[in-house]
Amino acid sequence: MTKIITCVDGSAITSAVTEAAVWASKKLNKPLLFLHTLEKEQQHGADDYTGAIGLGARTVLLDEMTKLDEQRSKVALQLGKELLGYVSRQASTAGVGEVESLQRHGDLVDSINDIEGLTRLIVIGRSGKGHDGNFNALGSHIETLLRKASHPVMVIPDTFKTPVSFMIAYDGRETAEIALQRVIDGGLLHGLHCHLVSVKNNESNQNDKFVLAQQKLEGKGFNVTASFIEGNIHESLMEYKEAHDIGLIVMGAFGHSKLRQFFLGSNTLKMLERCKVPMVVLR
């Protein structure tokens, strides 16, 4: 059975991530899997600028570095274990039936990729350790994760409030169509009030598609408020969000080519950076 993969690292955001995961797990009726990865910090041995190499320089250095790594890893391993135990207990208390935890060495995104077959939804905080207090900075893994993950990713801000309504940004492009379809097929957002929002762009017959999308959602039993607005894409979306007290945003990831993003940036990332509500990014 596929699971809700929840990434925890022990930073301030962890409790919000746990709450969101519990909500998603109950909503989708899927087990929870807490994932903690031990990433290697590469900087050490940097206090020796002598440039001198003596007898057995290599073995001495190897011993020294192995010892440092060993100490650090042991502590990190223990801390991670305790963290996983803590969040698992929290989830069980909150009423989730099946809770598992997994600890892996190596890069977070690689670890998520390795358990791709088990994945239903990935829940992750918008930024982890090293970003505490600095709101606008996105975590270093988010972009890579969004590019590589083949499953929906829910990005959680500092605090989590159970959402009662969600907004889906619809631009008529293929990625938006896919996102729409996945909202309908999935179960996470059923029962929430849906705001279907489109910002005018140069996509041909955007209007017709928009109406079609609304009908599609309504046909599946969603309670839809549809709005067609004009202006700068994220400015207007943010304004709409504020005005209607939206609790969650759904977006299709990366509609543009990589080259274009390199020069102009990506709407998905801009929204992620500025948004203070959970976002579900669909591929």
Partner 1 sequence: MLEHMKRDWLSNIRGDVLAGIVVALALIPEAIAFSIIAGVDPKVGLYSSFCIAVIIAFVGGRPGMISAATGAMALLMVTLVKDHGLEYLLAATLLTGVLQICAGYLKLGGLMRFVSRSVVTGFVNALAILIFMAQLPELTDVTWHVYVMTAAGLGIIYLFPYIPAIGKMIPSPLLCIVALTIVAISLDLNIRTVGDMGELPDTLPIFLWPDVPLNMETLLIILPYSAGLAVVGLLESMMTATIVDELTDTTSDGNKECKGQGIANIGAGLFGGMAGCAMIGQSIINVKSGGRGRLSTFIAGLVLIIMVVFLDDWVRQIPMAALVAVMIMVSIGTFSWSSLTDLRTHPLSSSIVMVSTVAVVVATHNLAFGVLIGVLLATLFFSNKIGRLMMVKSDFNELENKRTYEVIGQVFFASAEQFTNAFDFKEAVEIVVIDLTHAHFWDITAVSSLDKVVIKFRREGATVTIVGMNEATETVVDKFGAHNDPKEVEKLFDGH
Binding interface with partner 1 (CB under 8 A): 40, 42-59, 61-62, 65, 69, 143-144, 262
Cβ contacts of 257 within 8 Å, gap of 6 or more: none
CB of 184 to partner 1, least distance (A): 33
Cβ proximity to partner 1: between 46 and 264 the closer is 46
For residues 166 and 189, the answer to whether their CB atoms sit within 8 Å is yes
CB of 42 to partner 1, least distance (A): 5
| Token digits of residue 270 | 């801009």
CB of 4 to partner 1, least distance (A): 26
For residues 58 and 37, the answer to whether their CB atoms sit within 8 Å is no
Cβ proximity to partner 1: between 40 and 89 the closer is 40
Cβ proximity to partner 1: between 9 and 143 the closer is 143
Cβ proximity to partner 1: between 100 and 273 the closer is 273
Cβ contacts of 151 within 8 Å, gap of 6 or more: 116, 119, 120, 121, 122, 283
CA 171/CA 181 separation, integer angstroms: 14
E strands of the chain, at which residues? 3-7, 32-38, 99-105, 119-125, 153-156, 165-169, 193-199, 223-229, 248-252, 279-282
Cβ proximity to partner 1: between 66 and 207 the closer is 66
Q: Which amino acid is at 150?
A: S
Cβ proximity to partner 1: between 28 and 269 the closer is 269
CB of 66 to partner 1, least distance (A): 8
From the centroid of its chain, how far is CA 58? 42
Q: Which amino acid is at 153?
A: V
CB of 171 to partner 1, least distance (A): 25
Angle formed by the axes of helices 233-244 and 267-274, nearest 10°: 40
CB of 161 to partner 1, least distance (A): 32
